[in-house]
């Protein structure tokens, strides 16, 4: 009889059950910790060590000592006491776990008492499940913020448009005052345009974050023609605000190969922002050669961006606290979406800005002449 068979025969049923139990809990991806009735650890799996960031023996250690539990306000909680006072299974996604280096994660925590028999009030110990849900919580918070922001932004233009359309109906029914009707129509139209812009931002954001913009069609883009076409699209809007628009294109520039659609959309987003936050002066759109591509530039003489805000201006839903920014409507998605699109086509964005003097966004667009996907299409599509 070989040694392995001999050892298997010599194993007691208790040892065999313990080995099977260890194998079972170590196959679970959640952290599993078993304690005695006083909250001292008697068993745990590898996943628990990962969550707790521990590599030392934990048997006999009070659960509260190795698992530094925090509440929503990051205040410490005595987990050992919480465990031993648990009478029925308790599940929470609101606790946090603090580490020695000061970092904090969100956790799913389940505490279940182990009873010797069904219906008994006595407790032999407890089983604790713990899982890192930091990413899940982050996504939940983003979702809640998204719903809140979009609901707020949608409510305002819908209310204004509805009010103006109601005024139009009343004016037509009572007096037929064309002047009042004309004003109300224009105001309603402005709100509809804002809604269209918001929907466009949300659609582009969805496609960019879901990774559905993958097979980019690289085309030959006439840089001078592209800038001239885009500038022409904004003539009416610029004149309405009493601004002027200039174009500055290096005459040596000819064509660049990249996504005409997204290069144009990126530039349009920056121009729209420049016009929105400029009350007096000039919006300038330019381009010049750069190693491996073209450097586009959108400058304005607007309100500028503070050093603090420059660090966050590309964040999702970011809106500056500057009162001049709050005078205009916006979702805080425009520049975030723009950066997403830039990343997709290999572009790089830099920002220079001084409060009350203006901002300059520089966008390096790489020439993708050697990319696999390429076709020749006109670059003078309208906005």
Domains, in order of start, for the chain: 3-132 (3.30.450.20), 139-209 (1.10.287.130), 218-366 (3.30.565.10)
**pTM for the model:** 0.52
Q: How far apart are CA 16 and CA 51, in angstroms?
A: 28
Distance CA(206)–CA(145), nearest Å, equals 15
Distance CA 183, CA 164 (A): 9
- Enumerate residues 6+ apart whose C-beta is below 8 A from 60: 40, 41, 42
Tokens read off for 87:
């009478």
What pLDDT was estimated at residue 124? Answer: 82
Report the chain (383 residues): mean pLDDT per 10 consecutive residues. 52 62 76 91 89 86 89 90 90 90 90 76 83 84 64 63 74 69 74 69 62 68 93 88 93 90 88 90 95 95 88 74 59 76 89 92 91 44 40
Q: Which pLDDT does position 378 carry in this prediction?
A: 39
């Amino acid at each position: 009889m070989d040694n392995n068979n001999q050892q298997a025969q010599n194993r007691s049923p208790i040892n065999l059950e313990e080995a099977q139990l260890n194998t079972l809990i170590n196959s679970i991806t959640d952290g599993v910790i078993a304690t005695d009735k006083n909250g001292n650890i008697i068993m745990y799996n590898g996943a628990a060590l990962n969550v707790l960031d521990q590599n030392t023996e934990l048997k006999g250690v009070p659960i509260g000592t190795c698992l530094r539990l925090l509440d929503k306000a990051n205040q410490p909680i005595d987990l050992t006491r919480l465990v031993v006072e648990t009478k029925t299974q308790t599940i929470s996604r609101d606790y946090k776990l603090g580490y020695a280096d000061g970092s904090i994660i969100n956790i799913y925590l389940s505490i279940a008492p182990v009873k010797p028999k069904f219906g008994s009030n006595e407790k032999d110990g407890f089983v604790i499940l713990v899982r890192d849900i930091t990413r899940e919580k982050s996504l939940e918070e983003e979702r809640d913020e998204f719903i809140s922001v979009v609901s707020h932004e949608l409510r305002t233009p819908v209310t204004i448009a509805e009010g103006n359309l109601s005024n139009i109906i009343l004016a037509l029914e009572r007096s037929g005052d064309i002047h009042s009707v004309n004003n109300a129509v224009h105001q309603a139209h402005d709100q509809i345009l804002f809604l269209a812009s918001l929907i466009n931002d949300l659609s582009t954001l969805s496609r960019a974050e879901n990774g559905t913009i993958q097979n980019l069609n690289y085309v030959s883009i006439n840089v001078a023609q592209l800038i001239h076409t885009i500038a022409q699209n904004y003539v009416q809007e610029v004149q309405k605000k009493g601004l002027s628009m200039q174009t500055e294109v290096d005459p040596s520039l000819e064509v660049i190969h990249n996504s005409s659609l997204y290069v144009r959309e990126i530039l349009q987003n920056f121009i729209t922002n420049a016009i929105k936050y400029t009350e007096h002066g000039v919006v300038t759109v330019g381009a010049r050669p750069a190693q491996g591509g073209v450097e586009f530039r959108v400058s304005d003489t607007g309100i500028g961006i503070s050093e603090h805000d420059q660090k966050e201006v590309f964040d999702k839903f970011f809106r500056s606290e500057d009162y001049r920014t709050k005078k205009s409507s916006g979702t805080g998605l425009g520049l975030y979406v723009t950066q997403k699109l830039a990343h997709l086509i290999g572009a790089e964005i830099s920002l220079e800005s001084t409060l009350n003097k203006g901002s300059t966004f520089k966008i390096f667009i790489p020439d993708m002449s050697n990319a696999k996907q390429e076709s020749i299409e006109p670059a003078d599509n309208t906005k």
